[in-house]
Amino acid sequence: MRRIVVLLIAMAAALIVASGVAFAVIKDCQPDIKCVGTPETDVLTGTSGSDRIYGLANSDSLHGLGGGDQLVGGGGADDLRGGYVPNTTATDDGANDTLSGSGGSDTYIFGNGWGADTIIDKDIVDETPATGNRVYLLTTTTGNMAITLESDSGPRPEVSNGTNTINWDGNVIDNVNVSLGSSNDTITGNSRANSITTYAGGGNDNISSGGGDDSINVRDRAGNDTVDCGDGNDKVILDVGDIVSNCENQNRQ
């Protein structure tokens, strides 16, 4: 009986392999060697060297760790982290990474001192703040942070904080979550539905969301921020001392 069970299991495994079914993988990649996932939901982790990691389809997590990495998410809503090490302090490695989402609502995560990075992604038709690609900045460094979601396709970086920059072409990023420091920071949205959320920080920040039905949260319990929601039917959560204009729905906490 035992032999029959073992034989049936082996036959089933052979049939799955023959049918081309791919299982999700948790994989440690090798430096300077192309590392490819499966069509399922994968977790691919790089090294301290220069990695080339490709997630293929579905919603993957790609972690480049150290070195100048190239991360390509493929289809699905991917989590791409160039030099930021998960489950540690929010410190990046400072190398220059290229992060490519290639479809789906992707999240790009950066820690302190991320370097000069580049995002390559597709323009998503974004009508609500719940959709679109997102930049997540786990930063608490000093110095002014400037974020502009409206790309000008020129040399000016869309995100800058001292020597740290992020560049992208086109309106591929609609949403931003950022931990700000004590400086006076600036965030400028684009003409679509933006989701803008700030954490911590002690400066007097300036947020302008532009057009679209935006969702803004600047309740950081510090500073006197200025928010201009622009056109559209917008929602804002803010502190008592913040100044707002053109915001249809206000919630002071």
pLDDT digits (tens, 9 = 90+) for 114-149: 888 888 888 777 677 778 888 988 776 678 889 999
Residue-level pLDDT at 63: 81
pTM: 0.76
First-to-final CA distance of the chain:
68
Interatomic CA distance for residues 77 and 85, integer angstroms: 20
DSSP bridge partners of 54: 36, 72
Go through 88-112 and write b for each residue having 16 or more CB atoms within 10 A of its CB, e for each that does not: eebbbbbbebbbbbbbbbbbbbbbb
Mean pLDDT (10-residue bins), the chain, 253 residues: 43 41 75 86 84 80 77 75 56 70 78 83 76 81 85 80 88 89 88 89 87 91 89 94 94 88
- Compute the residue count for the chain: 253
Give all strands of the β-sheet with 175-180 in edge-to-edge order: 26-28, 43-45, 61-63, 79-81, 107-111, 134-138, 175-180, 195-200, 215-217, 235-238, 249-252
- Per residue in 160-196, pLDDT tens? 988 889 999 888 899 999 988 778 899 999 988 999 9
Contact 209, 231 (CB under 8 A): no
